[in-house]
Amino acid sequence: MNALKSTNMAVKNGIILAIALGIGIAITLAPAPTSLVSTITNAVNPGTSVPSYARDMQSGGPAMAALGVMAFALILWITEALPFHITGLLSLVFLTLLKVGKYKEIISTGFGNDIVVFFIGVLVITAFITKSGLGKRISAVILSITGNSTRAVLFGFLAAGAILSMWITDMAVAAMLMPLARAILQEEGCKPKESNFGKALMISVAWGALIGGIGTPAGTGANPIALQFLANMAGIHLSFLDWMLYGVPAAIIILPVAWGTLLLFFPPEMKNLKVSKEQLKAELKAMPPMNREEKITLFVFAFTILIWIATPFLEGPLGMMIEISMPALLAACLFFMPGMSKAKWKEIESEIDWAGILLIVSGISLGTYLYKTGVAEWLAITLLGRIGDVPLFLQLFLVTLGVCLLKVVFSSNSVTATILIPLIIGLGKATGIDVTGITLAAGLTTSLAFILVTTTPTNVIPFNAGYFSIKDMAKAGLLLTVGASLVIAVVFMTISNIKGGF
């Protein structure tokens, strides 16, 4: 039976691969639309009046090839006929074979990017926080504060997820909190798919992690991708603190919106848990003292955050730019210094999502060449050109809402950022609207997958516990998506008015 199922799946994926190749080739061989050629040939740098695109891009042929590769990758990413990272790597091969760029340049655009080091550093920190038990201790502290009110517990899980996922990956946070939530529900006798409290608590495990992920560049892999595209394509360099200035307030304000949404759709059937507030505090006190591994992890974690936040103040005295990847690289090394952690590299290496890293770096290469060939600007004008006619607040809201809704199609934050961020930057360039504002807003939104369970593994982890259905998350998630989009637009407008611009 399993062999038959495996064979059927292989046949199905083979057919999808053939269709993706066919569509990609058809687009590549199709003549470039007049509007595309016009966009490429007429685009100039407003500051220097130099043509935006290289002479060998003017025919539109490389743009159609890049568009064909993007279509090929999109079909495979959406259907998951191939592993995400394999699709990304194949895209680099096709970009080369179709002469969109030179092989070494295509490879170095992604693999030579410091985002590789940043992501490895963040994943190393995540692994140590998980393995040392520090994550569970932080979660226990937060739950001891919330008490036994079911409403407060829901907010506590949302807040715990948000605080943790600002610094470690969303999926790791959901994996930490889900067993705690399940233990509470089993203790309370909540029946899967019947208990409103069960539904709300498990969904809060996913939503809290997703919300916190927008707070800092370390929150999710899509965030540094947005920063890299801004730097490479628009020449805009933002620090860790610059991102936090918008991301943290947005995350803080979305939390009560998410809490209200859960209470609206799934009002708990009981006011308080059987366990008392005193018992929750007693459980925290009963935990053994912090061990050596936890203390070392806490020190390195806090030291890394401090450098990230203090970067703007350190660059002047040091006389150098500190990229956000440098503190992450230093943290990864500190753990393995003599006298530090007893963990071996082999143990930590197994916790690192190498496939995710390959997806990110191949995605950067593909996104960069979508931009370099002019196809990103043309698509942005074609699909979103009228957005420049509306006020800035509506621009931010519509871009944010659009990215959130498109998350339904893409089952990876990194894929979402890879495809959409170059388009948003191209839109800003073509229409003259603020590139920094709308790109940051879009970047913050690429990880907000509130609607579909299948959009991210962060949602799948609590879903597998069996307490809520796909429909449960979707109906509440639609409302939260609109609410979160409004919050991000308001936060961006407010902070930009205070600062006098983005």
Q: What is the pLDDT at residue 45?
A: 65
Q: How far apart are CA 452 and CA 250, in angstroms?
A: 22
Token pair for 464: 């597998």
| Greatest mean pLDDT range, 77-91, 135-149, 174-188, 405-419 | 77-91
CB atoms within 10 A of CB 12: 12
DSSP class of residue 33 equals P
Contact 281, 144 (CB under 8 A): yes
> Per residue in 287-338, pLDDT tens?
888 899 999 999 998 898 888 888 878 888 888 888 878 888 999 999 999 9
- Place 470 in a pLDDT band, splitting at 50, 70 and 90: confident
Contact 76, 68 (CB under 8 A): no
Does the pTM of the predicted model rise above 0.85? no
Those residues with Cβ within 8 angstroms of residue 284's Cβ, 6 or more apart along the chain or in another chain: 140, 141, 143, 144
Cite the beta strand spans of 363-493 per DSSP E: none
- Place 1 in a pLDDT band, splitting at 50, 70 and 90: low
Residue 367 amino acid letter = G
- The C-alpha angle 350, 180, 255, rounded to 5 degrees, equals 95
Question: Given CA atoms 107, 171, 332, 329 in this order, what sign does their dihedral have?
Answer: positive
**Segment among 236-240, 364-368, 454-458 with least mean pLDDT:** 454-458
* Helical segments of 99-149, H only: 103-111, 115-132, 134-146
Region at 339 (left for phi over 0; alpha for psi -120 to 50; beta for the rest): left
Q: How far apart are CA 343 and CA 249, in angstroms?
A: 36
Q: Give mean pLDDT, residues 207-235.
A: 85
Domain coordinates in residue numbering, the chain = 1-112, 117-220+240-349
Those residues with Cβ within 8 angstroms of residue 463's Cβ, 6 or more apart along the chain or in another chain: 202, 206, 453, 470, 473
Question: Tokens 């639309």 belong to which residue?
Answer: 33
State yes or no: pLDDT of 75 exceeds 60. yes
Those residues with Cβ within 8 angstroms of residue 201's Cβ, 6 or more apart along the chain or in another chain: 153, 154, 157, 181, 184, 185, 467
> Per residue in 11-27, pLDDT tens?
999 999 999 999 999 99
Token pair for 337: 């210094």
- Place 409 in a pLDDT band, splitting at 50, 70 and 90: low
pLDDT, averaged across the chain: 84
Q: How far apart are CA 93 and CA 101, in angstroms?
A: 10
Q: What is the pLDDT at residue 47?
A: 54
State yes or no: pLDDT of 139 exceeds 80. no
**Segment among 183-192, 325-334, 484-493 with least mean pLDDT:** 183-192
Q: Quick one: angle between helices 240-265 and 435-445, nearest 10?
A: 50
CA 89 vs CA 86, 286, 368: distances in Å: 5, 49, 14
CA 198 vs CA 156, 265, 277, 442: distances in Å: 15, 12, 19, 32
More confident site: 409 or 79: 79
Q: How far apart are CA 453 and CA 485, in angstroms?
A: 19
CA 413 vs CA 61, 210, 419, 459: distances in Å: 29, 11, 10, 12
More confident site: 249 or 183: 249
Q: How far apart are CA 169 and CA 374, in angstroms?
A: 33
CB atoms within 10 A of CB 100: 27
- Place 46 in a pLDDT band, splitting at 50, 70 and 90: low
Q: Give mean pLDDT, residues 36-59.
A: 79
Q: What is the pLDDT at residue 198?
A: 94
Q: How far apart are CA 288 and CA 276, in angstroms?
A: 21
State yes or no: pLDDT of 155 exceeds 90. yes
Among residues 480, 393, 399, the alpha carbon closest in space to that of 446 is found at 399
Q: What is the pLDDT at residue 496?
A: 86
CB atoms within 10 A of CB 290: 15
Question: Tokens 């990876």 belong to which residue?
Answer: 412
> Per residue in 246-271, pLDDT tens?
999 999 999 999 999 999 999 999 98
Question: Given CA atoms 484, 435, 430, 89 in this order, what sign does their dihedral have?
Answer: negative
The DSSP annotation for 202-270 comes to HHHHHHHHHHHTTSSTTS-THHHHHHHHHHHHH-----HHHHHHHHHHHHHHHHHHHHHHHHHHS--S-
Q: What is the pLDDT at residue 98?
A: 94
The DSSP annotation for 292-338 comes to HHHHHHHHHHHHHHHHHHHHHHHHHHHTS---THHHHHHHHHHTTST
Q: Give mean pLDDT, residues 439-451.
A: 84
Of the chain, the percentage scoring pLDDT greater than 90 comes to 27
State yes or no: pLDDT of 487 exceeds 80. yes
Contact 407, 446 (CB under 8 A): yes
